[in-house]
């Protein structure tokens, strides 16, 4: 799969997530909980795949990306620890605070994803340019 194909796949993934988020607004709590559980499983599966790829490419990986990945893993770990530890809150103030935290976490994840998309676009375009340069050099040799 080319970098351009992967970028297209990323766009499709974002569009699918957007549809699911929009649909979730009209679902009852049980349906929404099922969506949350499914999204978490999908995120866990993707994280496992990414970790496997990272291990395979660890010799080639740059230290910066390892640091970003580690920071992101720590962020996810903190979010999930808080979510898992959360008790059923009947107090409206506690529920409001939990909702605000969850929304803030979601916005942080969106900001991270947005940055990742920008970096992915840059990397894809740079890879395409490098390929063109290689083709030009190969043709002139």
What's the number of CA atoms in the CB half-sphere (13 Å) around residue 112?
13
Give me the pLDDT at residue 34, please.
85
Beta strands in the chain (DSSP E): none
Residue 78: is its pLDDT beyond 60?
yes
The mean pLDDT of 116-129, rounded to a whole number, is 78
Distance CA 113, CA 72 (A): 11
For the chain, percent of residues with pLDDT exceeding 70: 88
Residue 86: is its pLDDT beyond 80?
no
User: Domain segments of the chain: what residues?
Assistant: 3-140
Give me the pLDDT at residue 28, please.
87
Q: With beta carbons less than 8 A apart as the criterion, state whether 131 and 3 touch.
A: no
Distance CA 125, CA 62 (A): 19
């Amino acid at each position: 799969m080319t970098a351009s194909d992967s970028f297209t796949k990323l766009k499709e993934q974002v569009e699918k997530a957007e549809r699911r988020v929009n649909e979730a607004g009209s679902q009852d709590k049980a349906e929404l909980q099922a969506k949350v559980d499914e999204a978490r499983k999908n995120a866990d599966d993707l994280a496992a795949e990414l970790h496997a790829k990272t291990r395979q490419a660890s010799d080639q990986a740059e230290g910066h990306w390892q640091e970003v990945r580690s920071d992101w893993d720590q962020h996810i770990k903190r979010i999930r620890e808080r979510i898992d530890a959360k008790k059923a809150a009947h107090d409206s103030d506690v529920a409001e605070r939990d909702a605000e935290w969850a929304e803030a976490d979601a916005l942080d994840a969106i900001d991270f994803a947005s940055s990742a998309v920008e970096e992915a676009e840059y990397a894809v375009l740079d890879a395409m340019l490098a390929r063109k340069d290689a083709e030009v050099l190969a043709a002139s040799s």
